[in-house]
Amino acid sequence: MYNKRRRFIKLMLVIVGLVAVLTIGALGFQFTFFSSTYHAKNTIEEFYDLEQKGNFSDSWESFHPAMKVRFEKGAYIQDRAHVFFNHFGVETFSYDITEVEKLDTWKMTADGEELTDVYQMKVIQVYKGKYGNFSIDQYVFAVKNEGEWTVAWDYNQ
Structural domains of the chain sorted by starting position, each given as residue range(s) with its CATH number in brackets: 35-153 (3.10.450.100)
How many angstroms separate the CA atoms of 44 and 5, rounded? 56
What's the half-sphere exposure (Cβ side, CA atoms, 13 Å) at 42?
A: 11
The candidate with the shortest Cα–Cα distance to 90, out of 141, 40, 127, is 127
Task: Give the pLDDT of residue 25.
Answer: 53
Task: Give the pLDDT of residue 113.
Answer: 93
- pTM of full prediction above 0.75: yes
How many angstroms separate the CA atoms of 149 and 12, rounded? 45
- How many CB atoms neighbour CB 32 within 10 A? 10
Task: Give the pLDDT of residue 29.
Answer: 47
The candidate with the shortest Cα–Cα distance to 100, out of 135, 142, 137, 67, is 142
Task: Give the pLDDT of residue 1.
Answer: 61
| Contact present, 142 and 41 (Cβ < 8 Å) | yes
Could you list the beta-strand ranges (E) of 41-103. 93-103
H or E element: which one contains 80? helix 73-80
Which parts of the chain have pLDDT scores under 70?
1-2, 18-34, 157
Residues facing 150 on adjacent strands: 143
